[in-house]
Amino acid sequence: MLRNGRNLVCLLLFLGFSSSGALNDPHPELSDQELFWGSDQYDFSIVLRAGDLQCYWHFAHFGESFYLHFMVQLVTGVALDRHLSVTVNAPSGLIVGQVDDASGQVALSVKETGFYQMCFSNFHNRFGSMQVFLNFGVYYEGQKDIEKQKEEEKKKKEQDMKQINSTLSFIEDSSSRLQRFVFHMWRHYNYERMRRGADFYLLQSNSTYVSSWSVLQSLVIITAGYLQLCCLKRLFSSRPAEGDKPRC
């Protein structure tokens, strides 16, 4: 009975391990373009500690436009430096963008399809952390193949029905143009929002600095006045003899 029980346990373990193998391809019927293709953008804040390094990846196809905006909003600690080291690496490992400043942007035309790496290093500050606002993504503009397909479709539609096609093509062009303008307006608005956030944190830190120094100077002035009063009192303090008048 004991041997049969051990054999049964071994059989169950073997079946369990064989059926719970790792799935290398979660969607084998889909290609990488169907999984990752899409115009998207992200904006969020991160906190980098002293000497910290954080990296993020974003997928981009050949012919797209990749952009990255960043701005240091708040720096805390000792020996503060607002400079941030930013590098953008292509899927092959080549550095395609590098900035070392408190704010900046990296814009490039994608030449390789794959994941682009964005690394943010706070090596300038050994005793202080910083809060950084990020805005990055990809967008599509001026692709030749898509333009050719649109021209061919326009010609076919014009041959079939001229009036309806002209109206639809005008609406399509206007909507795509409006969408592109709105997207670029959103990018500029997001950059201005980052700048306003950085100004707010700078004003807040300056207010705290001025208040603390004002309190310290007030304490120094009060202490100095008290010490002067004590010194003057000691000049006039004496022990006169009986019947004598006090004198300095």
Dump pLDDT digits (tens) for 64-77.
889 999 999 888 88
User: Is 60 part of a structural domain of the chain?
Assistant: yes
Answer yes or no: is pLDDT of 142 > 70. Answer: no
Q: What is the pLDDT of residue 116?
A: 93
Dump pLDDT digits (tens) for 167-204.
767 788 888 888 888 888 888 888 888 888 888 888 88
User: Is 70 part of a structural domain of the chain?
Assistant: yes
User: Is 93 part of a structural domain of the chain?
Assistant: yes
User: Is 213 part of a structural domain of the chain?
Assistant: no
Q: What is the pLDDT of residue 39?
A: 54
Of 209, 58, 83, nearest in space to 135 by CA: 58
User: Is 181 part of a structural domain of the chain?
Assistant: yes
Of 132, 130, 112, 121, nearest in space to 58 by CA: 112
Dump pLDDT digits (tens) for 65-121.
899 999 998 888 876 788 899 999 999 989 999 999 988 999 998 888 889 999 999
User: Is 109 part of a structural domain of the chain?
Assistant: yes
Alpha-carbon distance 53 to 121, whole Å?
A: 4
The pTM for the full model equals 0.51
User: Is 239 part of a structural domain of the chain?
Assistant: no
User: Is 179 part of a structural domain of the chain?
Assistant: yes
Q: Which residues of 59-89 are buried (b: 16+ CB within 10 A; e: fewer)?
A: bbbebbbbbbbbbbbbbeeeeebbebebbbb
Q: What is the CATH number of the domain that holds 80?
A: 2.60.120.680
Domain with 93 in it: 32-201
Q: What is the pLDDT of residue 84?
A: 92
Number of domains in the chain: 1
DSSP codes, 2-66: HHHHHHHHHHHHHHHHHHT---S-S-TTS-HHHHH-S--EEEEEEEE-TT-EEEEEEEE-TT-EE
